[in-house]
Structure 1
Amino acid sequence: MSHVRPAAVAGLFYPASPRELDAAVRAMLAAAPPPAADEPWPKAIIAPHAGYVYSGPVAATAYARLARLKGRVQRVVLIGPSHRVCLEGLAVPRCDAFTTPLGPVALDRAAVEDVLSLAAVTELDAAHAEEHCLEVHLPFLQEVLGTFTIVPLVVGDARTDDVAAVLDRLWGAEETLIVVSSDLSHYLTYDSARTLDAATCRAIETLDAAAIGREQACGGAAVKGLLALAKRRHLRVRTLDLRNSGDTAGDRRRVVGYGAWVFSEPSADKPNRRNDQEAEAKPIASSASSSARDLLQANAETLLLLASASIDHGLRCGRPLPVELRDYPEGLRSKGASFVTLTFDGNLRGCVGSPEAYRPLAEDVSVNAFAAAFRDSRFERLSPAERSGLTLSVSVLTPPVRIFCMTESELLADLQPNTDGLIIESRGHRALFLPQVWTMLPQPKAFVHQLKAKAGLAADYWAPDFQAWRFHAVSVSSAGLANPAALWEPHP
């Protein structure tokens, strides 16, 4: 049976009557400035979450930009702060749908299960049961988008890199919209709030996540995660509105700040630049491969020991091994991307990794080793009885480099068998193969078609938004150690 999370703040933050709610949302949208004809398509917005009488007009300036997306956006990633429950990381609910007076909105359960493979994400119904920061956005979304699914995330004490990793996993293509829910300063005088909120606005406009402090935005962790990812993805941001409750409803002695921003992706690379850009990328890829190889050769045993220690810690404590970066050499303290692969009796037992570098390599290996053992959705959690029979490998990845291809034939011609790892993405479907997969699929066509299948796409699938990236990987395996059993000796 499906489980629906009922509306928690209908009649408090917004009207409980469907007719009154519909009329209120329509009126606020009608009063908002319309988008310009040449305005870029939105990929993400930041909007406030107070009662409609206070923040509704500000939120409407963002939602008025989304009416053009009706029928195009199929999934909304809705993320905001946990006001009522203390938690570490991010939390998703177990329910199948949220409901408002305007009707139910289904969860994208497959996407929810996908992000649960990330160590920072847990299931916690209590964090969602009475939370208002996501719910108040749903009537606006129902009005402008019609039918869509949601991935609801509340954020507690979470690292910026962890939030960015979750958003990156859910990024998708034109079918996915990101909505970050946050108010700004709280309970300052009118003039003090305007000063502080202006500083927050400058930080958002410049994608400067580090410039936003705890007192500047209640949804600061979610905002900072979006800004970090937006900077990596070269998004453009535009401020739509910046006011406070002293401007909308209420006195000016103690106000709450509200702002609305819209983010758009850069224009697609022109095909006629393909050769130049690929030529530029080749020496970069070669240099990155050499750097990764040198790093792994110098730290191979350290990384294997770290991965095995994290698995042991997971068996005892149910979480990855905390990493004290000062205990590791500089190369492992720098950001790096890794995959950890487990085999048992020659069969795959788990494989989880990071396609791109966004946290220190030592921490990435620890988290991915834990996830490979306990969070790979294809397998049951690793049992203590399997521990000593595992073979473990760690792969360090080079940064992905775009392959500019207009057809599958161009992609196949460009691939370097036994060398290239491959990432593909189209319309929210994304998948990755490590270079090791060439040993099982030595023909480029079979390699690509199986990767499409992994992404949930048909073998003959192609679309104008199909994108591909190559990367290289260098690996070390416990099978190559003189005493591989030493990896599974008791760790402190």
Structure 2
Amino acid sequence: MTHSTPQIRPAAVAGMFYPGSSSALARDLQQMLSHTPPASGLRPKAIIAPHAGYVYSGPVAASVYAPLADLRESIRRVILLGPTHRVAVDGLALPSSRAFATPLGVVQLDQEAMASIEPLPQVIVSDAAHALEHSLEVQLPFLQTVLSGFTLLPLAVGRASAAEVAEVLECLWGGDETLIVISSDLSHYLPYALARETDSNTARHIVALDAHLDHQQACGATPVNGLLLAARRHGLRAQLLDLRNSGDTAGDRSRVVGYGAFSFSAEPEHAH
């Protein structure tokens, strides 16, 4: 009997990064999503959200996910990119599974779109890159809560250039039915005051669509830079929705991790 890839990638960090029970998870998500500022009124095409344990970064992520509830019927496909933490890969890795599971249910993968980018030289297939990766998984319960039904195209981003990431995003850009989600935290393990200063500076670069971040500024610098290149090409405007760190949410202040929430929207046609 040959050992085949499971059709469904099971949740790897449920019960660690977020509650393992569907009822506790749904309750926590509703609580976080209800404590967010009102939406700007602009339609997000892309977002950047953090990926730590919900107790640390969940409230920051909620600030960028809550406004998507207004688009719950129109967003039908999510392109999700995050950095690899466990397995080193060259390029951007697709899984071979057909769905991803969380305690809230199963999300089908967009097989057709995945097949469309496989010929690109920077795109590989690696189940190992996805098996234990939390940067993508922690975004899914938020998406399952704010959207009604969507397919997913998950990419675990390893060693790649910003231009290679932007090329993949270009192929998958789509219209209003497609949302791009980039998973990234900001600075890691700096003292509180220095982290605030560092992350404020990083946020200014992101809002300016300056695609030259390094991995000290953001662990997901590679997919973030790729999005910033594509956003510039498509005339999107970036907005900072929340900027905090683990010292603000649930950790001590001697060594903190920074979290930012950003939304990217097309300029309104007739803005005055």
* Fold match (TM-score > 0.5): yes
Higher helix proportion (structure 1 or 2): 1
Partner of 2:246: 245
List structure 1 runs of 4+ shifted beyond 4 angstroms.
none
> Given the alignment of the two structures, is residue 43 of structure 1 paired with residue 45 of structure 2, yes or no?
yes
**SS class of match (2:139):** helix
> Which ranges of structure 2 fall in alignment gaps of 5 or more residues?
none
Q: What per-residue deviation string (whole Å, max 9, x for no partner) do you get for residues 395-445 of structure 1? A: xxxxxxxxxxxxxxxxxxxxxxxxxxxxxxxxxxxxxxxxxxxxxxxxxxx
Q: Determine the C-alpha separation between the residues in 2 that align with 1:46 and 1:247.
A: 19
Q: What per-residue deviation string (whole Å, max 9, x for no partner) do you get for residues 7-27 of structure 1? A: 000000000000000000000
User: Offset at 1:269?
Assistant: 8.2
Amino acid at match of 2:140: L
Q: Determine the C-alpha separation between the residues in 1 that align with 2:220 and 2:146.
A: 23
> Given the alignment of the two structures, is residue 171 of structure 1 paired with residue 176 of structure 2, yes or no?
no
Q: What per-residue deviation string (whole Å, max 9, x for no partner) do you get for residues 439-467 of structure 1? A: xxxxxxxxxxxxxxxxxxxxxxxxxxxxx
Q: Determine the C-alpha separation between the residues in 2 that align with 1:89 and 1:96.
A: 21
Q: What per-residue deviation string (whole Å, max 9, x for no partner) do you get for residues 232-282 of structure 1? A: 111011100000000000110000000000000133589xxxxxxxxxxxx
Partner of 1:53: 55
Q: Determine the C-alpha separation between the residues in 2 that align with 1:260 and 1:124.
A: 28
Amino acid at match of 2:21: S
User: Offset at 1:146?
Assistant: 1.9
Q: Determine the C-alpha separation between the residues in 2 that align with 1:40 and 1:33.
A: 14
Partner of 1:135: 137
Amino acid at match of 1:157: R
**SS class of match (2:180):** strand
Partner of 1:9: 13
Which structure 2 residues correspond to residues 229-240 of structure 1 after superposition, within 5 A? 229-240=230-241
Q: Determine the C-alpha separation between the residues in 1 that align with 2:139 and 2:31.
A: 15
Q: Determine the C-alpha separation between the residues in 1 that align with 2:34 and 2:150.
A: 22
Q: Determine the C-alpha separation between the residues in 2 that align with 1:44 and 1:240.
A: 13
Amino acid at match of 1:231: R
With normalisation by structure 2, the TM-score equals: 0.96
**SS class of match (2:251):** coil
Q: Determine the C-alpha separation between the residues in 2 that align with 1:269 and 1:262.
A: 20
**SS class of match (1:57):** helix
Which of the residues 195, 198, 201 maps onto 1:199? 201
Q: What per-residue deviation string (whole Å, max 9, x for no partner) do you get for residues 132-173 of structure 1? A: 000001000000002110000011111000000001110000
> Which ranges of structure 1 fall in alignment gaps of 5 or more residues?
271-492
Identity, % of aligned positions: 57
Q: Determine the C-alpha separation between the residues in 1 that align with 2:242 and 2:118.
A: 34
With normalisation by structure 1, the TM-score equals: 0.53
Amino acid at match of 1:4: I
Greater C-alpha Rg: 1
